[in-house]
């Protein structure tokens, strides 16, 4: 696998507004304070879509925005990968509740927004981006699957790729069946590495499954709860290595028999 | 950038026409229909569907029992046809189970089972869906890939791609990239999707479901017939040999236009087709047949017509096969890729079932009746909600 360069990073979750705040917390310079999960309205969408956008769309598009903000890149030329274990469970709950509980016609908007690639669709519309985009899932390994897909796209197209990973708790009848402690989204703008001035170089390697890296106790228990319980937040140990700037390897969960090792330099 | 072609080591499909490739091939040859009036008890709509028989009485058992749901039963039935599992076992001996990936497309995974849990909950007045949901094994988007890994005992990379109706075309591209990067040597790719109340009602709410068997490219066409199905292909990295079926190229794009309507001029679709040709290192004139996405909605077929005409001109040989299978949504891409493969091998150019009067305002004149032929290279189009487009080039090496 070719080396990747992380050019931009986005991160958003409870008490984590953006990458610069997340970096300060993960490097130990600022104490983590759990807060409400932010859900900024995506300014990139037209007013109607912005108003109707779901929490999943809001958090994913905010992470994407952060990773590309202030960079001299052509966003419309980016390939993209959107990784989420279960997408927008609220919309599935709404469709099923309308059909079997309320016995009313389903909402066409809820239906078309329920596709797993709705967030990718909104992102491509917002930026006029006609490059290919892949929306995928791999249960608790969705982040790792997204990293692999992004890395292979990058290697084969030699075009920068935006990876967005997001997982958002359900609030309806599905909630007890797939519990996420809080919403979290992250984004990495990746180019073929190494690139001078990039935030980090990443090398990916598959390995037999083993215990994934956890966050150290000195960061407090709540961030580790988020990491362990939200597949997208599985990126936090990797972001911690980037934040500390010393390099190192991180083992991320992928499949029941495989881990993904990411070496950061 | 061109990637090395991949050998097609095996393929199979199951849909409303029957289990395995034989009923699909004979139905294409004989112009035999496969759609029937929708009889889902919870979907009292006047519409036609492509539904698979024989799944209700065949639960998954043993260590597969937790996965039991209609979508995985359908996957298991499909994988059991045409010696597919034996060919996968040969690939395991050749490469090792850890070197074979699983890349599956689905739009709704086990949602049909989830719907049954909701129906039961409301029928009983229960506060919860209950443990029978088995979310991790049935509902979650990845579960078809997890199920196929378990069934086939494969241990390579795996992912579920869910980009609505392009899902199981895009898995070919993802597998080709993973193999090119050395993450695996072979891959089981495919798609599986089941008839669901949510999708039929959902498309109906958008005014996209026909009350008749769908008539792709037809005059007065008024929407989809929805289908279910499973289709699988075993791709292998092998030294290229002449006289072998291969995945020659893949092209992907986004419309960047609307979440549920195609770009009116088919701009994204045209990009996907030209990217597929570039990926295969061939020209438009090298394509002998196009399997159109051809859903039968007024807007979809019009946009695709403009896109195909732009790249291939109006004289290209093309048809749409959803009149046989229905639109299998997340399984459509793999279903139509396999239909192309069996036509390449069977020497057939399929027609367009149900379309007795093609729309004269569309430039591409679709083949109406299936004919014997010797096509060498085919292009298959799959376009989905969210503006997700994928075109595949399949053919003889």
pLDDT digits (tens, 9 = 90+) for B140-188: 999 999 999 999 999 999 999 999 999 999 999 999 999 999 999 999 9
User: Average pLDDT in the B93-97 region?
Assistant: 97
CA dihedral sign, ordered A140, A143, A146, A147: negative
pLDDT in the model for residue B77: 98
Interface test with A, best of B4, B108, B163 (most A CBs within 10 A): B163
Instruction: Give the residue from B11, B21, B7 showing the smallest Cα distance to B325.
Output: B21
pLDDT in the model for residue A37: 78
Tell whether B158 lies on the interface with A, counting CB pairs under 8 A: yes
Give A-chain residues touching B177 at CB under 8 angstroms.
Answer: 149, 152-153, 155-156
Q: In angstroms, what separates the C-alpha of A159 from chain B's closest C-alpha? A: 11
pLDDT in the model for residue B240: 57
Q: Which residues are CB-neighbours of A98 under 8 A, at least 6 positions away?
A: A104, A105, A106, A107, A110
Instruction: Please report which confidence band the pLDDT of residue B72 belongs to, taking 50, 70 and 90 as the band edges.
Output: very high
User: Average pLDDT in the B191-217 region?
Assistant: 98
Report A:168-227 residues touching B (Cβ under 8 A).
Answer: 173-174, 176-178, 206
Instruction: Give the residue from A165, A16, A264 showing the smallest Cα distance to A251.
Output: A264
- Which chain B residue's Cα is nearest to A132? B253
CA dihedral sign, ordered A189, A195, A197, A202: positive
Give A-chain residues touching B197 at CB under 8 angstroms.
Answer: 99
pLDDT in the model for residue B153: 98
Question: Which of B119, B259, B268 lies at the smallest CB-CB distance from A130?
Answer: B268
Instruction: Give the residue from B116, B112, B133, B117 showing the smallest Cα distance to B49.
Output: B112
Q: Which residues are CB-neighbours of A188 under 8 A, at least 6 positions away?
A: A6, A8, A9, A10, A67, A147, A150, A162, A163
Instruction: Please report which confidence band the pLDDT of residue B212 belongs to, taking 50, 70 and 90 as the band edges.
Output: very high
Contact B181 A111 (CB under 8 A): no
Contact A125 B258 (CB under 8 A): yes
Among residues of chain B, what percentage have pLDDT more than 90? 95
- B144 to A49, A138, B63, B82, B240: CA distances (angstroms): 32, 10, 15, 20, 31
pLDDT per residue as tens digits for the range B31-54? 999 999 999 999 999 999 999 999
pLDDT in the model for residue A38: 82
Q: Which two tokens stand for residue A69?
A: 């903000």
Question: Which of A99, A121, A173 lies at the smallest CB-CB distance from B387?
Answer: A121
In angstroms, the CA B64 to CA B73 distance is: 10
Q: In angstroms, what separates the C-alpha of A33 from chain B's closest C-alpha? A: 32
Instruction: Give the residue from B44, B42, B45, B22 showing the smallest Cα distance to B32.
Output: B22
The helix/strand/coil state of A122 is: helix
- Which chain A residue's Cα is nearest to B111? A92
Question: Which of A1, A121, A158 lies at the smallest CB-CB distance from B259?
Answer: A121
Quote ipTM for the complex. Answer: 0.98
- B111 to B36, B69, B190, B200: CA distances (angstroms): 22, 9, 18, 12
Tell whether B274 lies on the interface with A, counting CB pairs under 8 A: no
pLDDT in the model for residue B1: 66
Q: Are B210 and B225 in contact (CB under 8 A)?
A: yes
Q: Which residues are CB-neighbours of A52 under 8 A, at least 6 positions away?
A: A109
- CA angle A265/B1/B3 to nearest 5° reads 90
pLDDT in the model for residue A1: 87
Mean pLDDT score of chain B, rounded to an integer?
97
Contact A92 B111 (CB under 8 A): yes
- Which chain A residue's Cα is nearest to B164? A115
In angstroms, the CA B278 to CA B283 distance is: 8
Q: Which residues are CB-neighbours of B230 under 8 A, at least 6 positions away?
A: B13, B14, B15, B74, B75, B77, B78, B79, B190, B191, B192, B331
> Mind telling me the catalytic residues of B?
165, 293, 327
**Half-sphere exposure (Cβ direction) of B264: Cα atoms closer than 13 Å:** 0
Q: Are B385 and B296 in contact (CB under 8 A)?
A: no
- Which chain B residue's Cα is nearest to A76? B256
Contact B142 A142 (CB under 8 A): yes
User: Average pLDDT in the B192-215 region?
Assistant: 98
Q: Which residues are CB-neighbours of B132 under 8 A, at least 6 positions away?
A: B117, B120
Q: Which residues are CB-neighbours of B41 under 8 A, at least 6 positions away?
A: none
Please report how the helices B332-346 and B167-180 are oriented relative to each other, as an axis angle in degrees rounded to 10: 80
Q: Which two tokens stand for residue A146?
A: 């997204």
> Which residue carries 């399949």 as its tokens?
B394
Instruction: Please report which confidence band the pLDDT of residue B343 belongs to, taking 50, 70 and 90 as the band edges.
Output: very high
Give A-chain residues touching B122 at CB under 8 angstroms.
Answer: 100-101
- B181 to B103, B191, B250: CA distances (angstroms): 15, 23, 16
Q: In angstroms, what separates the C-alpha of B363 from chain A's closest C-alpha? A: 25
Is the per-residue pLDDT at B385 higher than 70? yes
In angstroms, the CA B304 to CA B289 distance is: 15
Q: Which residues are CB-neighbours of B217 under 8 A, at least 6 positions away?
A: B292, B294, B296, B301, B305, B320, B352, B355, B358, B359, B362, B364, B366
* Backbone torsion region of residue B243, taken as left when φ is above 0, otherwise alpha when ψ lies between -120 and 50, otherwise beta: left
Backbone angles phi, psi at B19, to 5 degrees: -95, 130
Q: State in Å, rounded, how far the first CA of chain B is from the last one.
A: 19
pLDDT by residue for chain A (265 residues), tens only, comes to: 899 999 999 999 999 999 999 999 999 999 999 998 787 889 899 888 888 899 999 999 999 999 999 999 999 999 999 999 999 999 999 999 999 999 999 999 999 999 999 999 999 999 999 999 999 999 999 999 999 999 999 999 999 999 999 999 998 999 999 999 999 999 999 999 889 999 999 999 999 999 999 999 999 999 999 999 999 999 999 999 999 998 999 999 999 999 999 999 9
Rg of chain B (C-alpha set):
20
User: Average pLDDT in the B373-388 region?
Assistant: 97
Q: In angstroms, what separates the C-alpha of A83 from chain B's closest C-alpha? A: 9
Q: In angstroms, what separates the C-alpha of A136 from chain B's closest C-alpha? A: 4
pLDDT in the model for residue B3: 86
User: E strands along chain B, which residues?
Assistant: 6-15, 18-19, 36-37, 48-50, 100-105, 158-161, 186-193, 226-227, 229-236, 245-254, 289-291, 318-319, 348-349, 371-372, 377-384, 388-396
What size, in residues, is chain B? Answer: 397
The DSSP-derived string for B266-321 is: -HHHHHHHHHHHHHHT--GGG--EEE------HHHHHHHHHHHHHHH-TT--EE--
Instruction: Give the residue from A252, A241, A227, A184 showing the smallest Cα distance to A28.
Output: A241
What size, in residues, is chain A? Answer: 265
User: Average pLDDT in the B221-245 region?
Assistant: 91
- Which chain A residue's Cα is nearest to B159? A138
């Amino acid at each position: 696998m070719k080396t990747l360069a992380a050019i931009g990073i986005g991160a958003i979750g409870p008490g984590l507004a953006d990458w610069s705040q997340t970096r300060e917390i993960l490097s130990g310079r600022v104490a983590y304070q759990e807060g409400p999960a932010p859900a900024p309205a995506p300014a990139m969408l037209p007013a109607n879509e912005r108003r109707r956008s779901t929490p999943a769309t809001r958090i994913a598009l905010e992470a994407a925005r952060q990773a590309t903000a202030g960079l001299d890149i052509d966003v419309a030329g980016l390939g993209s990968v959107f990784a989420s274990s279960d997408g927008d469970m609220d919309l599935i709950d709404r469709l099923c509740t309308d059909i079997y509980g309320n016995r009313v016609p389903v909402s066409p908007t809820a239906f078309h927004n329920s596709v797993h690639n709705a967030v990718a669709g909104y992102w491509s519309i917002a930026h006029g981006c006609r490059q290919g985009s892949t929306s995928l899932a791999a249960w608790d390994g969705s982040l790792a699957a997204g990293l692999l897909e992004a890395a292979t796209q990058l290697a084969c197209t030699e075009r920068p790729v935006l990876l967005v990973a997001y997982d958002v708790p359900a609030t309806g009848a599905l909630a007890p069946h797939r519990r996420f402690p809080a919403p979290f989204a992250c984004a990495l703008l990746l180019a073929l590495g190494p690139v001078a001035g990039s935030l980090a170089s990443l090398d990916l390697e598959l390995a037999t499954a083993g215990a994934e890296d956890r966050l150290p106790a000195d960061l407090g228990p709540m961030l580790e709860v988020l990491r362990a319980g939200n597949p997208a937040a599985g990126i936090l140990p990797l972001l911690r290595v980037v934040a500390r700037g010393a390099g190192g390897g991180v083992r991320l969960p992928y499949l029941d028999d495989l881990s993904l090792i990411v070496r950061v330099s | 950038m061109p990637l090395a072609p991949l050998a097609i080591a095996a393929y199979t499909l199951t849909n409303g026409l029957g289990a395995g490739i034989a009923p699909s091939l004979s139905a294409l040859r004989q112009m035999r229909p496969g759609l029937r009036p929708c009889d889902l008890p919870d979907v009292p709509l006047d519409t036609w569907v492509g539904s698979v028989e024989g799944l209700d009485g065949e639960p998954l058992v043993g260590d597969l029992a937790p996965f039991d749901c209609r979508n995985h039963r359908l996957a298991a039935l499909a994988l059991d046809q045409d010696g597919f599992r034996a060919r996968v076992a040969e690939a395991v001996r050749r490469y090792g189970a850890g070197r074979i990936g699983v890349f599956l497309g689905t739009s709704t995974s086990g949602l049909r089972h989830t719907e049954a849990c909701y129906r039961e909950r409301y029928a009983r007045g229960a506060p919860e869906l209950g443990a029978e949901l088995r979310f991790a094994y049935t509902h979650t988007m990845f579960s078809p890939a997890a199920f196929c890994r378990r069934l086939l005992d494969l241990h390579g990379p795996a992912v579920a791609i869910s980009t609505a109706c392009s899902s199981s075309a895009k898995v070919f591209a993802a597998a080709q990239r993973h193999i090119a990067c050395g993450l695996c040597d072979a891959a089981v790719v495919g798609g599986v999707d089941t008839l669901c109340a949510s999708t039929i009602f959902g498309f109906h709410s958008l005014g996209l479901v026909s009350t008749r068997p769908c008539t792709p490219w037809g005059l007065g066409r008024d929407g989809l017939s929805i289908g279910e199905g499973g289709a699988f292909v075993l791709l292998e990295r092998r030294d290229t040999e002449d006289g072998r079926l291969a995945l020659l190229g893949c092209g992907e794009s986004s419309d960047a236009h609307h979440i549920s309507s195609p770009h009116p001029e088919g701009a994204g679709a045209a990009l996907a087709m030209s990217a597929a040709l570039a990926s295969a290192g061939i020209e438009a004139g090298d394509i002998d047949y196009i399997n159109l996405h051809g859903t039968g909605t007024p807007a979809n077929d019009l946009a695709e017509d403009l896109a195909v005409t732009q790249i291939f001109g109006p004289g290209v040989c093309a048809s749409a096969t959803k009149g046989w299978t229905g639109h299998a949504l997340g399984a459509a891409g793999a279903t139509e890729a396999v239909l192309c493969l069996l036509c390449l091998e069977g020497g057939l150019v399929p027609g367009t079932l149900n379309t007795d009067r093609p729309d004269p305002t569309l430039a591409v004149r679709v083949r109406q009746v299936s004919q014997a032929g010797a096509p060498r290279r085919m292009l298959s189009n799959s376009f989905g909600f969210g503006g997700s487009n994928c075109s595949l080039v399949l053919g003889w090496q």
